[in-house]
Amino acid sequence: MNSSATPQNPVIFQTKDIDQKIYVREQKGYYQTIRRYLNVILLAVFIVLPFIQYNGHQAILFNVEKQTLTLFPVTLYPHDLLIFGLIFIVAAFALFYVTRLYGRVWCGYTCPQTIWMLMFNWIERRIEGSHNQSKVLDNSSINVEKVLKKTSKHFIWLALSLLTSLIFMSYFVPANELYADVFNAEVSSLLQGWIIFFMACTYINGGWVKEKMCLHMCPYSRFQSVMFTPKTTLMAYNANRGESRGPRQRNQPKPSNKGDCVDCNLCVQVCPVGIDIRDGLQYECINCGLCADACDSVMSKFNYAKGLIRYAAQKKSDSDWKQHIGYGLIIALFSVSIVAWGLTRDTFEVSVLRDRQVLYRVNSLGQAENTYSLKTLNKSQNSQTYTLSISDSSLFTIKGNTTFTVQPGEHYVNVITIASKKAPENTATTIDLKVTENASLKSTTQASVFYSGDKTWYN
Ligand code: SF4
Ligand code: SF4
């Protein structure tokens, strides 16, 4: 432990001795009730979202095969990478903002790693008993009870992991297809591989790696300390009130030389990352409030005021609102950019490629002809009909489909020939090809070049 870290001097430090297995004691209380309800809501959202249909298709789907992301009425393609950038920037700044205000509440209350870790711990407690019984079971030699309990625990953990993997995969493969394939045992070997992979990830993370992910692997835990300020609300032990700590009898007057901490160690036993909050602010703390709930229950038993361990900021002032400006402005700016992008986004894209193998050819009417490939991508969620036209129709004529229908997400390739009705003034003439979406009358124009040679062949 870093000796410079004391409750009076709450610098962030790393606890050195928490690499052994942690047997988390279950705890009820105010913050855990909030956390439980929040987790139930988040889990329900996670499960239900892939089943929501919008306009005849899955409302949220990251279709890996088609390389598209559908979000209700919007379908994003690889070309729309900018919007992903903006969304990630907003999400990152929102996380930094919350961290600056309330420390690692994301980790303690909403991070999937914590939610699954708690679910796995809940299953373990139901099968193996309390944290102490679990420890005794681990240290006992192999016997029937141990084998039965361990087998049932791992079986349920694996079942939960499989369920998690299936739900997760339904964000990438249409849910109706995925579940139909699973129930009919017709899952492709590729999909089976991914389901097993995510099942293994969930099982290893939730059952074995647990808090080690937060302690050693999560990059967020490493840089969160740079966002803390004296105004950040963090879980803290009130050392002035608690010290000097020491055991005592219940229903007896408090010893005059003692503070309120009865040194019961309950706050350490319930901590999912195995730290002692009384040592001061430690980077492992995920701000989950378990120690506060545990301590409040002890304070109640001794008829002391609650809040010996509580969420608190070192410094609060009237100018606290100023800390909202920087992050608030950035989040607002990028959110407005996302909305503006959404409102002005094209629903189709066109590219024109001139046939480079033949510069030009002369047709039976004695006109110069050039060939082009016109690629149209329909980015909307309905089939669309488009009309093609050329800028200088008195000089050029289009041979081929000038009206065509493209299915949603389809890249339609239209090979056309353009002929010049009379000799152009220049050897190479710039032409503009205009594609109009019939339903919305939105149009896009692509420039290309028409080659006509030395024109001696024109009548
Ligand atoms: S110290 Fe308290 S708030 Fe921090 S992780 Fe442990 S139990 Fe949660
Ligand atoms: S739970 Fe409260 S009383 Fe018990 S050791 Fe922790 S701080 Fe002290």
pLDDT tens digits, residue range 399-424?
Answer: 999 999 999 889 999 999 999 888 87
Instruction: Indicate the Cα dihedral angle 241, 242, 246, 251, nearest 10°.
Output: 70
Domain count, the chain: 2
pLDDT at 448: 95
pLDDT at 342: 80
Task: Identify the residue whose C-alpha is closest to ligand 1 atom 7.
Answer: 271
Point out the domain boundary residue: 184, 209, 234: 209
User: Quick check: is 400 in a domain?
Assistant: yes
State percent of the chain over pLDDT 90.
59
User: Quick check: is 330 in a domain?
Assistant: no
pLDDT at 225: 75
pLDDT tens digits, residue range 162-215?
Answer: 999 999 999 999 999 999 999 998 999 999 999 999 999 999 999 999 888 888
Task: Return d(Cα 221, Cα 91) in angstroms, integer.
Answer: 17
User: Quick check: is 306 in a domain?
Assistant: no
Cβ–Cβ under 8 Å, residues 125 and 131: yes
Band the pLDDT of 8: cuts 50, 70, 90: very low
pLDDT at 359: 86
pLDDT tens digits, residue range 324-366?
Answer: 788 888 889 999 988 888 888 888 999 999 988 888 888 888 8
Nearest ligand, measured from the Cα of 27: 1
**Preceding omega of 244 cis (within 30 degrees of 0):** yes
Band the pLDDT of 318: cuts 50, 70, 90: low
Band the pLDDT of 2: cuts 50, 70, 90: very low
Closest alpha carbon to 58 in 204, 195, 178, 201: 178
Band the pLDDT of 319: cuts 50, 70, 90: low
What are the CA-CA distances from residue 440 to residues 28, 380, 384, 407, 436 (Å)? 57, 11, 10, 16, 8
Task: Identify the residue whose C-alpha is closest to ligand 2 atom 7.
Answer: 261
Q: Is the CB of 235 under 6 A from ligand 1?
A: yes
pLDDT at 17: 58
- Give the residue, out of 228, 285, 295, 311, with the most ligand 1 atoms within 8 A of its beta carbon, to mutate for a pocket test: 285
pLDDT at 248 > cutoff 50: yes
Point out the domain boundary residue: 160, 175, 209: 209
Band the pLDDT of 81: cuts 50, 70, 90: confident
pLDDT at 136 > cutoff 50: yes
Q: Is the CB of 105 under 6 A from ligand 1?
A: no
pLDDT at 94 > cutoff 80: yes
User: Quick check: is 412 in a domain?
Assistant: yes
User: Quick check: is 91 in a domain?
Assistant: no
Task: Return d(Cα 388, Cα 435) in angstroms, integer.
Answer: 5
User: Quick check: is 187 in a domain?
Assistant: yes
Task: Identify the residue whose C-alpha is closest to ligand 1 atom 5.
Answer: 285
Band the pLDDT of 218: cuts 50, 70, 90: confident
CATH code where residue 376 lies: 2.60.40.10
pLDDT at 320: 65
Task: Return d(Cα 151, Cα 158) in angstroms, integer.
Answer: 10
Task: Return d(Cα 302, Cα 93) in angstroms, integer.
Answer: 43
pLDDT at 78 > cutoff 80: yes
What does the pLDDT average to over 104-120? 93
Looking at every residue in the chain, the average pLDDT score rounds to 89
Task: Phi first, then psi: give them for residue 19, nearest 5 degrees.
Answer: -90, -10
User: Quick check: is 424 in a domain?
Assistant: yes
User: Quick check: is 221 in a domain?
Assistant: no
At residue 392, the 3 state secondary structure works out as: coil
Task: Return d(Cα 236, Cα 307) in angstroms, integer.
Answer: 10
Which residue is it, tokens 């493209």?
406
pLDDT at 317 > cutoff 70: no
Domain that holds residue 53: 30-76+111-209
Point out the domain boundary residue: 209, 233, 248: 209
**Whole-model pTM above 0.75?**
yes
pLDDT at 356: 83
pLDDT at 77: 86
